[in-house]
């Protein structure tokens, strides 16, 4: 029975729509979490608390597998303390003392101690005792679980000028800090702070990290690449051999149990030794993160040994030999973009990080060799031209022709400096266009030399799209006005020779398809605009009601995806005529989307990279033919590795009209599509009474 074209189109439409009904989302194994600065476990409830670099507090309840964000946050600088006593959790406050919770982090109250405190004041808890030092090297102690405090400085500030670390060891208070000359020194008190005795100067220059640790019968002091050990309660100290630590790295923390010593480092992972030996061996911590930075260790009652790291929280049940990431709902590094490059996935993130994945689940940091790129920079966009990867950051453009092994940044014609931001790339007709804080630039040689569209907007072009020689761009200020003026949407009918303003607004994302245009407002506003005439006029689209739109992406010149602030994903297969909620078990704020293999990948701002299988149960997933390139410009290649005989090939446009049909034989056939109009086509292949379908895009 022969199907009509209309029925055929309905079947194809339903088969593609069914892909989004069946599959569930899964969170990939990276990029992993944002830096964990504080980690502790409640002795009362056994809940684990993690404090992030930005000041949030997350809780993982006893024997739970997920984290939850507590409704309490203090924006803080680099060092983040969180400590637990017998029945309370506490952190330093910004001004006057500590914040304390006695109900497993649900509610917090501020305990006033005095002036001179900050949210990086040093804090230590043990049982019902709390010790905290202010910025003037005054030490305060509470013996009633943080309810009241008294000063126990004694003569401490005659020895030290600041306090970096505190520990209690067999009723002795031991404090490390800097003396008047800036040296790292240690002193102790045997009468709970009435009198203090100088112990040792352990480092004759200012260190980056200093931390005291007490284990059973030994004390350890960690600073820079050195570790000092005391066997007499902190009175005398000797340095351990740390020659195993790679040059340029330094120690961050130490854990000791049953004569096993585990040392964490910045950038070089974990080292371990048995029987207090000086022969340390590196641990293959986690394959996709060879440069893991360890911030602190925590021994827990239900998770074994835990670490808080630059990439989230991990735990080990075999005392450091193997580790796993269990923080599936702890926020991950802030992802900004996602793209496919030569059968690999690339993701850009904050802290100048580019990640690569070969199969879409595990990720590798691929930018160890990027030179002169400060940690403050964010990867805003990534594109690939052939084997070249081009990365746009908040300051410069970088290139790599070998998947991140080496990077160069010697492009000419672009403004370079602290105030130059590269927001977005667009490839159109063999040219690369860049939206920057100084206008729109283009390159005709894979990004090496650039020229400016001199008649375009001059500042903070946040978004652009190009279709049929029409450029739509959104910027934060008018032409020739410094970067604090009005906002505009600009349109060019002649590929950038002339521009005119079409809307007094600003979009952070612009997408065009057919005659339609879509614009998403800047973060904090997230309005949704639409144009039906290729960007000439715009109107506020209320299809999604009050939902704040975070992103819009178009794949295969037809499929439209919209993400919202509250974690919804909507899909339209018919150029915005109908929409389907495909959120399922996904959560996050979408920032980019791409297809890779049989999967649809979504990058979120701070909830990781998700994927779902879109092969469904239709015959496309079992297609034995290799069809490439896709998109195609002129010649399409069909490979027939199973050597089917007399294969019937039919080309249909998206309206279901038969455009071309032919028979192919042999292993490989090239088909001329140069005369085809640009758009989406469905290829139907018939072989041995079976039918296979493939969707391709003609540029």
* CA pair distance 59, 61, nearest whole angstrom: 6
| Range of weakest confidence among 351-355, 576-580, 595-599, 682-686 | 351-355
Question: How many domains are there within the chain?
Answer: 3
Question: Whose structure tokens read 């294969």?
Answer: 647
Residue 654 is assigned to a structural domain of this protein: yes
* Residue 502 and residue 553 share a domain: yes
Q: What was the pLDDT predicted at 491?
A: 93
Residue 81 is assigned to a structural domain of this protein: yes
- Across 71-85, 243-257, 475-489, the highest mean pLDDT is recorded for 243-257
Nearest to 683 by CA among 665, 664, 658, 666: 658
Report DSSP state, residue 209.
Answer: -
Q: Residue 442 — pLDDT band, cuts 50, 70, 90?
A: very high
Span 660-681, average pLDDT: 88
* Residue 545 and residue 400 share a domain: yes
* Residue 559 and residue 482 share a domain: yes
Residue 490 is assigned to a structural domain of this protein: yes
Higher-confidence position of 156 and 267: 156
Residue 583 is assigned to a structural domain of this protein: yes
Residues 6+ apart with CB under 8 A from 508: 462, 463, 474, 520, 521, 522, 523
* Residue 526 and residue 454 share a domain: yes
Model confidence at 550: pLDDT above 90 = no
What average pLDDT is seen over the chain?
78
Q: Residue 7 — pLDDT band, cuts 50, 70, 90?
A: very low
Residue 430 is assigned to a structural domain of this protein: yes
Q: How many CB atoms lie within 10 A of CB 181?
A: 11
| Range of weakest confidence among 60-64, 594-598, 617-621, 655-659 | 617-621
- Across 50-54, 220-224, 315-319, 554-558, the highest mean pLDDT is recorded for 220-224
Q: Residue 242 — pLDDT band, cuts 50, 70, 90?
A: confident
* Residue 506 and residue 359 share a domain: yes
In degrees rounded to 5, what are phi and psi of residue 22? Answer: -80, -50
Q: Residue 284 — pLDDT band, cuts 50, 70, 90?
A: very low
Question: Whose structure tokens read 């394959």?
Answer: 287
Q: How many CB atoms lie within 10 A of CB 195?
A: 12
Model confidence at 484: pLDDT above 50 = no
| Range of weakest confidence among 164-173, 315-324, 571-580 | 315-324
The answer to whether the beta carbons of residues 236 and 186 sit under 8 Å apart is: no
Alpha-carbon distance values, 441 to 412, 450, 519 (Å): 11, 6, 21
Span 509-527, average pLDDT: 78
Query: Of the candidates 596, 613, 630, which is a domain's last residue?
Result: 613
Higher-confidence position of 534 and 641: 534
* Residue 606 and residue 568 share a domain: yes
Residue-wise pLDDT tens digits, 136-179: 888 999 999 999 999 999 999 898 888 888 999 999 999 998 88
* Residue 633 and residue 604 share a domain: no
Span 436-460, average pLDDT: 90
Span 541-556, average pLDDT: 84
Residue-wise pLDDT tens digits, 460-472: 898 899 999 999 9
Residue 260 is assigned to a structural domain of this protein: no
The percent of residues above 90 in pLDDT, for the chain, comes to: 19
The answer to whether the beta carbons of residues 130 and 139 sit under 8 Å apart is: no
Nearest to 368 by CA among 224, 242, 248, 209: 248
Q: Residue 339 — pLDDT band, cuts 50, 70, 90?
A: confident
Q: What was the pLDDT predicted at 384?
A: 86
Q: What was the pLDDT predicted at 602?
A: 87
* Residue 479 and residue 403 share a domain: yes
Q: What was the pLDDT predicted at 370?
A: 47
Residue-wise pLDDT tens digits, 31-63: 555 678 888 999 889 999 988 776 778 888 887
* Residue 627 and residue 510 share a domain: no
Query: Of the candidates 567, 591, 613, which is a domain's last residue?
Result: 613
* Residue 641 and residue 580 share a domain: no
Span 323-345, average pLDDT: 70
Q: What was the pLDDT predicted at 354?
A: 81
Residue 134 is assigned to a structural domain of this protein: yes
The percent of residues above 70 in pLDDT, for the chain, comes to: 79
Q: What was the pLDDT predicted at 78?
A: 45
CA atoms within 13 A on the CB side of 347: 37
Q: Residue 17 — pLDDT band, cuts 50, 70, 90?
A: very low
Span 108-128, average pLDDT: 83
Q: How far apart are the first and last CA of the chain?
A: 34
Q: Residue 20 — pLDDT band, cuts 50, 70, 90?
A: very low
* 3-class secondary-structure state, position 230: strand
* Residue 661 and residue 580 share a domain: no
In degrees rounded to 5, what are phi and psi of residue 309? Answer: -130, 180
CATH number of the domain to which 628 belongs = 2.60.40.3080
The answer to whether the beta carbons of residues 65 and 126 sit under 8 Å apart is: no
**Is the model's pTM score more than 0.85?**
no
| Range of weakest confidence among 236-250, 272-286, 488-502, 645-659 | 272-286
* Residue 132 and residue 66 share a domain: yes
The angle formed by the CA atoms of residues 172, 177 and 180, to the nearest 5 degrees, is 125
Residues 6+ apart with CB under 8 A from 363: 28, 29, 30, 31, 288, 347, 355, 356, 357, 609
Query: Of the candidates 124, 151, 178, which is a domain's last residue?
Result: 151
Q: What was the pLDDT predicted at 351?
A: 62
Preceding peptide of 31 cis, ω within 30° = yes
Q: What was the pLDDT predicted at 9?
A: 46
Domain span at residue 666 reads 621-698
Q: What was the pLDDT predicted at 481?
A: 43
CATH number of the domain to which 65 belongs = 2.130.10.10
Q: What was the pLDDT predicted at 12?
A: 46
Nearest to 337 by CA among 45, 594, 554, 61: 594
Residue 11 is assigned to a structural domain of this protein: no
Span 196-208, average pLDDT: 69
Residues 6+ apart with CB under 8 A from 672: 634, 635
| Range of weakest confidence among 96-110, 223-237, 300-314 | 300-314
Radius of gyration from C-alpha coordinates of the chain: 30
Q: What was the pLDDT predicted at 369?
A: 42
Span 88-105, average pLDDT: 87
Nearest to 313 by CA among 36, 595, 97: 36
In degrees rounded to 5, what are phi and psi of residue 370? Answer: -65, 120
Sequence-ordered strand ranges (E) for 302-418 = 305-309, 312-316, 324-325, 335-341, 344-349, 353-357, 364-365, 379-385, 388-393, 397-400
Higher-confidence position of 522 and 560: 560
Residue-wise pLDDT tens digits, 343-356: 788 888 776 678 77
């Amino acid at each position: 029975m022969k199907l009509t074209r209309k029925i055929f189109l309905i079947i194809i439409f339903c088969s593609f729509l069914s892909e989004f009904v069946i599959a569930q989302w899964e969170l990939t194994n990276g990029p992993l979490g944002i830096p964990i600065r504080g980690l502790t476990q409640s002795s009362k409830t056994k809940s684990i608390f993690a404090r992030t670099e930005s000041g949030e507090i997350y809780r993982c309840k006893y024997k739970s597998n997920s984290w939850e964000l507590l409704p309490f946050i203090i924006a803080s600088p680099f060092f983040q303390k969180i400590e637990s006593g017998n029945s309370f959790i506490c952190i330093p406050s910004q001004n006057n003392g500590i914040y304390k919770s006695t109900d497993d982090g649900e509610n917090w109250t501020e305990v006033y101690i005095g002036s001179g405190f900050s949210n990086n004041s040093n804090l230590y808890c043990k049982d019902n005792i709390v010790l905290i030092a202010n910025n003037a090297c005054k030490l305060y102690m509470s013996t009633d679980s943080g309810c009241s405090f008294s000063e126990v400085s004694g003569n401490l500030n005659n020895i030290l000028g600041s306090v970096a670390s505190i520990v209690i060891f067999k009723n002795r208070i031991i404090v490390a800090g800097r003396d008047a000359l800036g040296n790292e020194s240690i002193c102790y008190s045997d009468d709970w702070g009435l009198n203090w005795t100088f112990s040792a100067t352990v480092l004759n220059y200012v260190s980056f990290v200093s931390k005291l640790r007490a284990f059973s019968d030994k004390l350890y002091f960690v600073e820079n690449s050195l570790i000092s050990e005391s066997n007499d309660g902190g009175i005398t100290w000797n340095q351990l051999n740390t020659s195993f630590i790679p040059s340029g790295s330094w120690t961050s923390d130490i854990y000791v149990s049953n004569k096993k010593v585990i040392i964490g480092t910045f950038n070089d992972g974990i080292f371990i030794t048995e029987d207090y030996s000086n022969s340390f061996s590196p641990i293959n911590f986690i394959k996709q993160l060879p440069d893991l930075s360890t911030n602190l260790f925590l021994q827990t009652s239900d998770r074994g040994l835990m670490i808080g790291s630059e990439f989230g929280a991990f735990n080990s049940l075999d005392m450091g030999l193997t580790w796993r990431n269990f923080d599936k709902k702890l926020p991950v590094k802030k992802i900004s973009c996602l793209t496919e490059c030569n059968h690999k996935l690339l993701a850009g993130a904050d802290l100048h990080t580019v990640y690569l994945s070969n199969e879409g689940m595990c990720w590798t940091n691929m930018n160890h060799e990027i030179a002169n790129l400060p940690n403050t920079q964010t990867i805003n966009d990534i594109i690939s031209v052939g084997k070249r990867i081009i990365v746009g950051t908040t300051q410069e453009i970088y290139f790599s022709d070998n998947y991140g092994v080496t990077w160069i940044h010697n492009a000419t014609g672009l403004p370079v400096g602290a105030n130059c931001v590269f927001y977005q790339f667009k490839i159109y007709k063999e040219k690369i266009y860049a939206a920057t804080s100084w206008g729109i630039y283009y390159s005709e040689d894979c990004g090496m030399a650039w020229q400016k569209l001199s008649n375009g907007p001059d500042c903070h072009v946040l978004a652009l799209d190009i279709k049929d020689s029409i450029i739509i761009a959104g910027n934060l200020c008018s032409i020739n006005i410094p970067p604090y003026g009005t906002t505009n949407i600009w349109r060019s009918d002649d590929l950038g020779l002339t521009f005119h303003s079409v809307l007094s607004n600003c979009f952070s994302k612009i997408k065009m398809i057919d005659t339609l245009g879509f614009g998403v407002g800047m973060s904090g506003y997230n309005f949704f605009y639409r144009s039906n005439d290729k960007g000439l006029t715009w109107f506020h689209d209320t299809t999604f009601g009050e939902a704040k739109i975070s992103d819009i992406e178009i794949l295969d010149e037809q499929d439209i995806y919209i993400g919202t602030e509250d974690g919804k994903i909507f899909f339209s297969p018919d150029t915005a005529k109908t929409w389907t909620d495909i959120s399922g078990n996904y959560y996050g704020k979408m920032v980019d989307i791409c297809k890779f293999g049989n999967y649809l990948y979504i990058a979120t701002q701070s909830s990781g990279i998700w994927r779902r299988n879109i092969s469904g149960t239709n015959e496309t997933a079992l297609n034995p033919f290799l069809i490439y390139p896709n998109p195609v410009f002129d010649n399409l290649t069909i490979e027939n590795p199973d050597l089917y005989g007399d294969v019937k090939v039919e080309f249909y446009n998206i309206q279901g009209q038969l455009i071309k049909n032919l028979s192919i034989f042999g292993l490989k056939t090239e088909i001329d599509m140069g005369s085809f109009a640009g758009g989406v086509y469905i290829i139907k292949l018939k072989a041995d009474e079976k039918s296979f379908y493939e969707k391709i895009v003609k540029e």
